[in-house]
Structure 1
Amino acid sequence: MSLVQSLIAAHRRGERVGLYSVCCSNEQVLCAAMQVAQRYDTVLLIEATSNQVDQFGGYTGMTPAQYRDFVLQLAREQDFPRERLILGGDHLGPNAWQQRPAAEAMALARELIAAYVAAGFHKIHLDCSMACADDPTPLPDEIVAARSAELARVAERAAADAGLPPPVYVIGTEVPVPGGEASLGGGVAVTAPDAAAHTLEIHRLAFLAPDLAPAWERVIAMVVQPGVDFDHSLVQRYDPQAARALSAFVEGQPRIVFEAHSTDYQSEDALHALVRDHYAILKVGPAATYAYREAVFALAAIERELLPAEQCSDLVEVLDRCMRERPAYWNKHYHGDERQLRLLRAYALSDRSRYYWGEPEVQAALQRLIDNLRRTPPPTILLSQFMPEQQRDVEAGRLQAEPLALIRHRIHGRLAEYARACARNGIGSENETSAAKSLS
């Protein structure tokens, strides 16, 4: 039994334990996640999404094997135990190739799954919920399940060929849009228990072939909509009453739990409630890079106050210029006049600026910002103005006023909420103050 399966089994036995998934490729976010997992004695599940990392490089430029090596190198640098690190693949399927005919998109999806599993990714989210160019819309659940089973067969073969333990799987048809909604509008509805039952049954039938029976025993979770999501400026909060019937449904099912996507920006109390109600795998992505962006922008504001204009990095302006010059990652998502677009590019909860931190000019501006503030450390009065939480820990001697330490501390605050909600020791939000203090 793998570490993931052990945690899910513990949850099913009644332990208040969950698994949080950091879906990110940002180096500072991943380093902060490792520090948080060390502090709270949790395992760390790091997932790459199918648009971040694929057999051609994705938007990060990394294949699955390269991403694995990148994460393992960070773990070595952070002295994070390899045995507590789990790699996962999120939204693995034809997602990146939806505009192509189904046969072509699924051929590419098979290559994608094989590359992930061969690279040692253990938790595999089989996501065939999207319609391809020649598919009916909406895509029937039976097709979703059949394609998922097809990809599971590829994953099983890839693990065996690589001499690796077989993966665990997450299934589902009601999969939220990666990265949040374009607009919440009237909100999102909780998955109906009947719909969840249908999804589970059609996947069970699709996995009936003898060679897939062992894979079905390793299906650990199903993606459902517990009524949580976010768009560019709004967050739909978890309502336990609205999700009660769905929670009751999974209690009667053997082995599995629910996986909750788009839990970004939920309160810590809501995260604890989600785990309690069997949404035991919590995904976080944009909220972590949003915290990173907040910290970097705060440091840029300090830099502007501290140094002559000609010495400044102009990071905020460089980032926005890069986004305007290469709008492919945001222009289909953000709408409005130029003032509104500028605000969304910088501050939207969907945080599509996360696609641009690796651009050479943005990297150069960031490095200049860091170098400037290492040569001229931020004084207490400016930290108090722009990074008050960090200033308190600097003043108490728990944190250095060093740029990367300040950035990671900001990210800690967000990820620690997930760790406390999922930790075996049942650390509650009421212990936040004493627990968070040691993170720096």
Structure 2
Amino acid sequence: MDWILTRLAAARREGKAFGITSVCSAHSLVLRAAIRRAVHDGGPVLIEATCNQVNHLGGYTGMTPEDFIRFAERIAAEEGLDRSQMIFGGDHLGPNPWRKEKPEAALEKAEAMVEAYVRAGFSKIHLDASMGCAGEPAALDDRTIAERAARLAQISERAAKASGVPLPLYILGTEVPVPGGADHALEELRPTAADAARSTIAIHREIFSRAGLEDAFSRVIAFVVQPGVEFGSENVIGYRPELATELTALLDEEPQFVFEAHSTDYQTRDALTRLVQDGFPILKVGPGLTFALREAAYALDMIASEMVAGYGDRPLAAAMEALMLAAPGDWQAHYHGDETALRLQRRYSYSDRIRYYWNRPEADKAFERLLGALRGKTIPETLLHQYLPQLSAAEVGDPETILIAAVDRVLADYQSACGTAT
């Protein structure tokens, strides 16, 4: 199914633009929702793992790249999706998880991670060396970033040839949004300047050629730029097409490429549609999906508190709050304010840092208790209307069905925006 990715640029030039949703999550119910939608629509599913979630050392999920693919394949088999309909991507593959280490040490770990991704069967590889490591500026210059990306591409190419998997498709770029969204309130965001994007492409082309990576560069399908969309803890910056016209016009000069849009979470259906039409057909979404899942789970937590004797007062929310307070490392640097503000952000932030905690044993136990409390029970219509008013009659069922439906409502906007591959 990789042909869909290689068709994106040509389809835009032909006036037949289509897109593809990049599902960036390791949560089983999010993946199940995405896979179930692919079965329903008869199309492919692009599933991406990030460097922090999944890497050769386990990441915060505890999964290696090979583990992750097997995990997603098991869900696909249960849902009846053929493996040939699945595309796996590696997101932000570079030194980001080890940026507090010296550059060489961080890059050596990044090399091992990239090799593990390619050998496992990830065919869409986003090489992201944009962040500084210990002793370096937070933002590196284009040339340094491109040199490090070429170094990682060398490893990727060798790994593919050694393991007999297809040679990867690549995503490059230097103006890469922070994984998982901004860590502060946002007021305005300007798209990448066209001249800056033009220079980034030229520098990568030069450095890849000098490294003997012309063939790899021919498989670069997109560059990551800032289209002017982002979300912070408490607000979202929507897409403004009129601000990105010079940037998108650059694609007419560079017919090999499209742009990949990161942080499209919480954009409207109309904004997503316009992003695809304007040249940003790879729409990455992650926290927006787990936010929808958490929102529905907390609604069910309140429903169970109301109707199930002995369940208690919102024990799922209480368990997650206790977890986040006991291990604040995954949210503390991202949330700001007084104690009330911090508590609200821990529970309800658009950044959804709570997603880092769902795989912990205490969270799993509380989640399973919620599902067990509601399985086999009929939730009164009036109670559903109180806590899940957006739920349609077709989405009412067991708690897993309700949770998947909440995620699918988000995915439906992306599918509508992406249209049909041509």
Relative to the length of structure 2, the TM-score reads 0.96
Indicate the residue corresponding to 1:416 in structure 2: 412
Indicate the residue corresponding to 1:281 in structure 2: 282
Indicate the residue corresponding to 1:291 in structure 2: 292
User: 1:375-394 maps to which residues of 2 (within 5 A)?
Assistant: 375-390=376-391, 392-393=392-393
For 1:301-345, what per-residue CA distance to the aligned partner results, in whole angstroms no more than 9, with x for missing partners?
Answer: 111111234556611111111111111100111122221111000
- Residue 40 of structure 1 contacts residue 423 of structure 1 at CA under 8 Å; is this kept in 2? no
- Residue 50 of structure 2 contacts residue 91 of structure 2 at CA under 8 Å; is this kept in 1? yes
Indicate the residue corresponding to 2:197 in structure 1: 196
Indicate the residue corresponding to 2:57 in structure 1: 56
When residues 312 and 15 of structure 1 are mapped into structure 2, their CA distance, relative to the original with a 3 A threshold, is same
Q: Which runs of 5+ in 1 are unaligned?
A: 427-440
User: 1:297-312 maps to which residues of 2 (within 5 A)?
Assistant: 297-310=298-311
Whole-angstrom CA distance in 2 between matches of 1:255 and 1:234? 34
Shift of 1:213: 1.0
Shift of 1:272: 0.3
Whole-angstrom CA distance in 2 between matches of 1:104 and 1:56? 14
Match of 1:125, SS? strand
Whole-angstrom CA distance in 1 between matches of 2:170 and 2:3? 12
Whole-angstrom CA distance in 2 between matches of 1:125 and 1:151? 10
Shift of 1:252: 1.9
**1:30 aligned onto 2:26:** no
Whole-angstrom CA distance in 2 between matches of 1:310 and 1:30? 28
Shift of 1:157: 0.5
| More divergent stretch after superposition (323-332 vs 309-318) | 309-318
Match of 1:389, SS? coil
For 1:170-197, what per-residue CA distance to the aligned partner results, in whole angstroms no more than 9, with x for missing partners?
Answer: 0000000111111244422210000000
- Residue 229 of structure 1 contacts residue 237 of structure 1 at CA under 8 Å; is this kept in 2? yes
User: 1:131-280 maps to which residues of 2 (within 5 A)?
Assistant: 131-209=132-210, 211-280=212-281
Whole-angstrom CA distance in 1 between matches of 2:163 and 2:311? 54
For 1:125-152, what per-residue CA distance to the aligned partner results, in whole angstroms no more than 9, with x for missing partners?
Answer: 0100001113345311100001101111
Whole-angstrom CA distance in 2 between matches of 1:137 and 1:336? 24
When residues 137 and 379 of structure 1 are mapped into structure 2, their CA distance, relative to the original with a 3 A threshold, is closer
Shift of 1:7: 4.0
- Residue 40 of structure 1 contacts residue 420 of structure 1 at CA under 8 Å; is this kept in 2? no
For 1:352-405, what per-residue CA distance to the aligned partner results, in whole angstroms no more than 9, with x for missing partners?
Answer: 000111111111111111111014331211111111222x32xxxx33421000
Whole-angstrom CA distance in 2 between matches of 1:167 and 1:326? 37
The code of the aligned residue for 1:417 comes to: D
Indicate the residue corresponding to 1:436 in structure 2: none
Q: Which runs of 5+ in 2 are unaligned?
A: none
Match of 1:208, SS? helix
Whole-angstrom CA distance in 2 between matches of 1:298 and 1:167? 42
**1:314 aligned onto 2:310:** no
Whole-angstrom CA distance in 2 between matches of 1:55 and 1:375? 40
- Residue 302 of structure 2 contacts residue 314 of structure 2 at CA under 8 Å; is this kept in 1? no
User: 1:11-22 maps to which residues of 2 (within 5 A)?
Assistant: 11-22=12-23
When residues 181 and 210 of structure 1 are mapped into structure 2, their CA distance, relative to the original with a 3 A threshold, is closer
- Residue 100 of structure 2 contacts residue 134 of structure 2 at CA under 8 Å; is this kept in 1? yes
Count matched residues: 421
For 1:387-426, what per-residue CA distance to the aligned partner results, in whole angstroms no more than 9, with x for missing partners?
Answer: 1222x32xxxx33421000000011000111111112179
- Residue 221 of structure 2 contacts residue 257 of structure 2 at CA under 8 Å; is this kept in 1? yes
RMSD value, Cα: 1.6
The code of the aligned residue for 1:67 comes to: F
